[in-house]
Amino acid sequence: MQMSFEEFFDMVGLQEPLIPGQKKVIPVRSEKPGASYCIVYDWRSDLDKIRVEIKPGLTGRDLSPERMKEVPPSLKTPIFVEAEVSFDGKKVKAVNDTASRSKSNNTAKNTKKKASKK
């Protein structure tokens, strides 16, 4: 799937500009203890990919095991989407979102397992 940067940032909820080499952390506070989380927009680790990740806590850093005990199970598993970035002339496109690829790969693996059981 290909889309423009504006479409990708609208899809992941980023209202501010993000430039290559930048990492933004947007905290989302919750009234329940341990349920606060942050959205990490990372274009610094790999300039060919943009990673959008939801992490427990408000800082974007990994929590200690003691603090992870307070976190709901839904935030303990990695939640992210990665998009490969390709520059096509003046138009910038986000290509191959990893979440949809991993879903299709899992479906293929499950189909193979079912076929081998028969």
How far is C-alpha 91 from the chain's CA centre? 23
Count of domains forming the chain = 1
Q: Which residues, including other chains, have CB under 8 Å from residue 61's CB and lie 6 or more apart?
A: 55
Residue 1 has a pLDDT of 63
The contacts of residue 94 (CB under 8 Å, 6+ apart) are 2, 3, 4, 5, 7, 8, 50, 83, 84, 85
Which residues constitute the domain of residue 20?
A: 2-117
User: Coil, helix or strand for 66?
Assistant: helix
Q: What is the pLDDT of residue 87?
A: 65
Kindly state the tokens that stand for 39: 């959205």
Across the chain, which has 118 residues, the per-10-residue mean pLDDT values are 73 80 91 88 86 91 89 88 70 47 43 43
pLDDT at 19: 83
Q: What is the pLDDT of residue 101?
A: 43
